[in-house]
Every structure is written in structure tokens, then in C-alpha cells.
Amino acid sequence: MIRKCITFIAFVSLLLAGLGAWAQNKIVVFQSDFGLKDGAVAAMKGVANGVSPDLKLYDLTHEIPPYNIWEAAYRLEQTVPYWPAGTVFVSVVDPGVGTSRKSVVLKTKTGQFIVTPDNGTLTLVAQSLGIAEVREIDEAVNRRRDSRQSYTFHGRDVYAYTGARLASGTISFEQVGPKLPAEVVTIPYQPAVREGSVIKGSIAILDVQYGNLWTNISGDLFNQLNPQFGDVVHFTIFHKGKQVYKGDAPYCQTFGAVAKGKPLCYVNSLLDLAFALNQGSFAAVHHIGSGAEWSVAVSLTHRK
């Protein structure tokens, strides 16, 4: 009987050890609107290395436009699914730093952790990957030593520190702080929906290097209109509900299917519907932006 108990205890210990390894894999990925012109990003990484030199530190981006919470939300949704379970993301786009907004860690249903202010940054990833659990950071424990006099750099003093402690296994997820309801602050936007022969969605982001418009309309949803390459796509773009552009573009597989400077509609690398000018910036030419205030309506005329 004693031998069976010892065997059972050993089995449980191995199981828990395996779960711990799955939960924390020593990877930290940073995102911010800090840019790289000063030492802010290096300071966050220095704090993380101070917690554990064994951590593997990566960057998602530090070029989020200042205070643009929506773009921070989009970049997380664009990137988090490609990282293994146990990866810790530290996302700091925090115009409300020092206010009553909560500092949280969200665990997705696919096993990644996101350390961030709960200010809308989690809007999209919470919907697409699901919320397994949310915990509020207990700053009495999870705050960099001797940083109590600083109220404007939580990215360094709270988020990088907590993220590193979690990723390194210094603390468990439960030790982050008290459990919160499985919900987060969200930014309202136009979801992708079909209404008869029209599909509505948002201009979720710009392909910033080229000025292409990336929507949140999935290729699968667009396929419900039975498109064929060469069909004409009619699309109307709105900003805060006001029409700012209306036009047509052929549905194409590649940019080279149209002449230089001409518009086209295509499915981008994330398998979402997008609009572009071949070798030109659609956003710049037509003064189009992106985010929760930008929406689009799409319909189709089949080629005869």
C-alpha cells in the first residue's frame, strides 16, 4: 500500500512538473509604442535579464503609433498564435499609465500569456484565442525593487518584471495576483458579417510598408460570395460612419495581375481580404486610415 502511494505521488509530481514546463518556456516577446530612439526598450530587457539571464527575449514591434491601443491589439492577434504555448508577451501601449486601469496577465486558451494594461489591448486576441483566465498583477509582490517612486514607466517596473518572473518560472501564474472575471476591456469595432450580398467589416490595419488596406473580412467569409479571379469587387469605406471612398477593383491572385498604379482586391498573408494599388500606396493616395473607426462594405459582380 505504501509503495502504491509513493508511486502515485511520484506520478502526480511528474505531471505537475510537466504542466509547469508547458506553462513557462523562458520566452518573452516585447511590444510597445516606445520606438528605439532612447533606452526604454533596453531598460525593459535589462530588467528581464536581471530576473533571469536564461530568458530568450524577442521583439514583436516597438513601432506602434503613440497611444494607439487598437494597433497594439491587432499586432497581438497577428502574432500570438504563431508562438508556442507558454510564451509570455509583454505589451505596453499605455496612455493611462498611473491611472486606475488594471495591470493584468491574460492566459489564452491556447496557452500563451499576455502581460499588459487592461485598456483594450486584449480586445482581439481575447475573441480569437479565447480567455482561459485573467489575473491582476499584485504590485506588492510583482514590482521591481525600489521603483515605488516611479509612476510613469510601468513597462519597466511592473510589466517587464512580472513577465520575466512568469516566463522564468520564478512565479507561477497563480502568483501573479488575484483572479479576475474572464473578461477584458474591449474597443468597439465593426465585426466581419455578411448581410445578404454585402459583407461588412473594418479596415483593421494598414500594411504600413506599402499602404495596402487589410480588412478583418476572412477569405472564408468572402468565399461565401463565390468569387472568381477577375470578378469586380465593389467596396465602400467609411470613417466614423461617413463615406470617404467608393470604388471598384478586380479580385486578383497576385499584384502583377493589374497595371502599375491600378487597384486590386486580394487575400493577404493572414488570409483576410485586402485592397491595394500595384506598386502604390492606397492609403496615401486616397487618405485612408485604419482602426476601430474605419469600416468597409464589400459586394461582388461576377465576370461574364
Q: Which amino acid makes up residue 153?
A: F
CB-CB contact of 267 with 273 (8 Å): yes
Residue that finishes a domain, picked among 129, 155, 180: 180
Question: Cα 227 from chain centroid?
Answer: 29
Please give the tally of structural domains in the chain: 2
pLDDT at 65 over 50: yes
Residue that finishes a domain, picked among 137, 158, 180: 180
User: Quick one: 162 and 207 in the same domain?
Assistant: no
Q: Is residue 186, in this structure, part of any structural domain at all? A: no
Q: Is residue 248, in this structure, part of any structural domain at all? A: yes
User: Quick one: 162 and 54 in the same domain?
Assistant: yes
What nine digits make up the cell of 188? 468597439
Which one is predicted more confidently, 119 or 144?
119
User: Quick one: 8 and 100 in the same domain?
Assistant: yes
Q: Is residue 171, in this structure, part of any structural domain at all? A: yes
Residue that finishes a domain, picked among 180, 214, 241: 180
CB-CB contact of 119 with 96 (8 Å): yes
Q: Is residue 187, in this structure, part of any structural domain at all? A: no
Q: Which amino acid makes up residue 152?
A: T
How many percent of the chain have pLDDT more than 90? 82
**Lowest mean pLDDT, pick from 11-25, 50-64, 246-260:** 11-25
User: Quick one: 143 and 18 in the same domain?
Assistant: yes
At 151, the pLDDT band (50, 70, 90 cuts) reads low
**Can you point out the beta strands (E) in 7-78?**
27-32, 56-61
Q: Is residue 220, in this structure, part of any structural domain at all? A: yes
User: Quick one: 15 and 163 in the same domain?
Assistant: yes
CB-CB contact of 233 with 256 (8 Å): no
CB-CB contact of 303 with 232 (8 Å): yes
Q: Is residue 188, in this structure, part of any structural domain at all? A: no
Q: What is the pLDDT of residues 166-225, one digit of tens each?
A: 999 999 999 999 999 999 999 999 999 999 999 999 999 999 899 999 999 999 999 999
The CATH number of residue 34's host domain is 3.40.50.10790
User: Quick one: 84 and 208 in the same domain?
Assistant: no
Q: Which domain holds residue 83?
A: 2-180
Round to whole Å and give the CA distance between 8 and 26.
Answer: 29
User: Quick one: 198 and 160 in the same domain?
Assistant: no
At 98, the pLDDT band (50, 70, 90 cuts) reads confident
- Closest by CA to 201, choosing from 67, 115, 79, 294, is 294
User: Quick one: 40 and 164 in the same domain?
Assistant: yes
